Amino acid sequence: MIKVILWDMDGTILDFKTAECNAIRKCFAKFQLGECTDEMIQEYSALNDSYWKRLELGEITKSRLLVKRFEEFLSSYHLDASIAADFNKEYQLRLGDTICFLDHAYELIQSLQGCVKQYIVTNGALTAQKRKLERSNLLPLIDGVFISDEIGYEKPAKEFFDYVFRHIGNYAKEEILIVGDSLTSDMLGGIHAGIQCCWYNPEGKENIDNLPIHYTIQNLNRIRELL
């Protein structure tokens, strides 16, 4: 029986793509960079995803990632890349301006209070994640938060999960379920940690690496069936 749920936040509980779009546009306005088109946002989003994959593989540090992605993005449109560090600082704040829950996740988490322990496990940057947690009103509903910047390791690293296990109490691995949208951080990390894995896959993507995932769902509310 599942006694603990480890929730990923961006792309699982919260609609990250919408927040990302709004944050980029606000930053363009603040730095007077002109129009930020839908095409530009799509290209940035793909570029950003590639950098986070590199982080998961240990190919780049978090601090370098946060600035380098904007240096590359701005340069690709012949914009001033020297503002990348300041652009990133503003972006981290603006990410927390848009709180949009996927699949009524707030009500789901609220309904599971008292039934299971619930924790958030996230690789997102500390400033942005804390702002999102405060503005989303999730903190009163959950039992704790684990942010990679505070732990010193990123999902899917074993050390990240070892830290989580030391701080949530004594549970058997089969009593812990991680729910997340990322195969390469959430699912791979959960598999290596030996816990139950639930892939949130609303778009019906292919499990191209054939990871041995226990559950795949397209709507978060199916979690109730697993409990």
Check whether the bond before 140 is cis (ω within 30° of 0): no
Q: Quickly state the pLDDT bin for 109 (edges 50, 70, 90).
A: very high
pLDDT of residue 58: 86
Let me know if 8 is a catalytic residue. Answer: yes
Q: Which of 78, 95, 112 is the last residue of a domain?
A: 95
User: Does residue 111 contact residue 142 with C-beta atoms inside 8 Å?
Assistant: no
Residues 8 and 22 in one domain: no
Percent of the chain exceeding pLDDT 90 equals 93
Residues 150 and 179 in one domain: yes
pLDDT digits (tens, 9 = 90+) for 155-184: 999 999 999 999 999 999 999 999 999 999
Q: Which of 66, 95, 124 is the last residue of a domain?
A: 95
Q: Structure pTM? A: 0.92
Residues 200 and 180 in one domain: yes
Give the chain's domain count. Answer: 2
Would you call 166 helix, strand, or coil by DSSP? helix
Give the domain range for residue 125. Answer: 4-15+99-226
Residues 122 and 205 in one domain: yes
Calpha distance 40→38 (Å, rounded): 5
Residue-wise DSSP of 115-126: TBEEEEEE-S-H
Q: Quickly state the pLDDT bin for 57 (edges 50, 70, 90).
A: confident
Percent of the chain exceeding pLDDT 70 equals 100
